[in-house]
Amino acid sequence: MSLNQSARNARATTTEPRPSDDDAVLFEEVQQALCEDGFASPPEGRHLAQWVRSELRTALGNVDVDVQNGSRECDLLVEDTVGVELVDGLSAYGHAGIHRHLETVGRDCDYLVVFVHELPSDCRDAWWMVKRRCTPHGLGVTDIAFVKPDDGETATTKRSPLTAWFLLGPAMVFVAAYLAVGLLEAAHIANHPMLMLIVPTIGAVCFLALVLKCFGHT
């Protein structure tokens, strides 16, 4: 048993349990704090978990925040109930590995906040799939949230799939109109073999580009 686990067990025997409503409120407060722009730029050369712990204690009013070092524990534990896991992309775990990792560290807490500190643009589609798979029931926690600090960018990981589907509508209208024009000019195109290849290719590329634009930052 780790020292952190022993300390948590000791505190559990001497303090009264927090009401579940208080835990849910704390869960929301941790999310809101980590979304602030102050968490977007940690100082160079400082241990990330220690720095986030210090900033969280300041933002939340000196609540109990523990740094955990075990491979099967989340990076931070707030008031023995809200775990915070620091993530900077998928390179350390892979697409399937991140789900197993979160399932493991989720056993250490009631609520889990995944703090996406850095997310390369080429990981956003895969990360959206990770968020869909990592449900509270699947990880064995009361609730889970994925948060990213506000770094001033207009394009973040916050667009919802519903919004993306609304954006996809105009894309489909455009492609349909493009193909309709192609059919009207079919006789002309048939006389030029290269056009028979180029026209459908352009339509497919445009459709794919618009789909990626709609879903790339969800």
59/6: higher pLDDT: 59
Domain assignment present for 34: yes
Domain assignment present for 177: yes
Q: Which percentage of the chain shows pLDDT scores above 90?
A: 19
Which of 87, 112, 147 terminates a domain? The answer is 147
Same domain, 39 and 97: yes
Same domain, 44 and 121: yes
Domain assignment present for 27: yes
Range of the domain at 199: 161-215
Same domain, 209 and 131: no
Crossing angle of helices 124-133 and 193-215, in 10° steps, is 50
- CATH of residue 56's domain is 3.40.50
Q: Where are the alpha helices (DSSP H) in the chain?
A: 3-14, 20-34, 48-60, 94-105, 124-133, 136-139, 161-184, 186-190, 193-215
Same domain, 172 and 113: no
132/142: higher pLDDT: 142
Q: For the chain, how big is the Rg over CA atoms in Å? A: 23
The number of distinct structural domains making up the chain is 2
What is the pLDDT at residue 171?
64
Domain assignment present for 152: no
Same domain, 196 and 139: no
pLDDT tens digit sequence for 118-135: 776 666 777 778 888 888
What is the pLDDT at residue 118?
72
16/151: higher pLDDT: 151
Same domain, 131 and 192: no
Same domain, 15 and 52: yes
User: What three-state secondary structure class fits 86?
Assistant: strand
Which of 102, 120, 147 terminates a domain? The answer is 147
Which of 92, 115, 147 terminates a domain? The answer is 147
Domain assignment present for 153: no
- Rounded distance between C-alpha atoms, residue 64 and residue 43, angstroms: 22
Same domain, 85 and 136: yes
- Rounded distance between C-alpha atoms, residue 57 and residue 42, angstroms: 15
What is the pLDDT at residue 144?
93
Same domain, 117 and 44: yes
Same domain, 138 and 188: no
56 burial type by CB count under 10 A (0-12 exposed, 13-18 middle, 19+ buried): buried
What is the pLDDT at residue 92?
64
Same domain, 33 and 140: yes
Backbone phi, then psi, for 81, in 5-degree steps? -135, -30
Per-residue pLDDT averaged across 135-146, rounded? 90
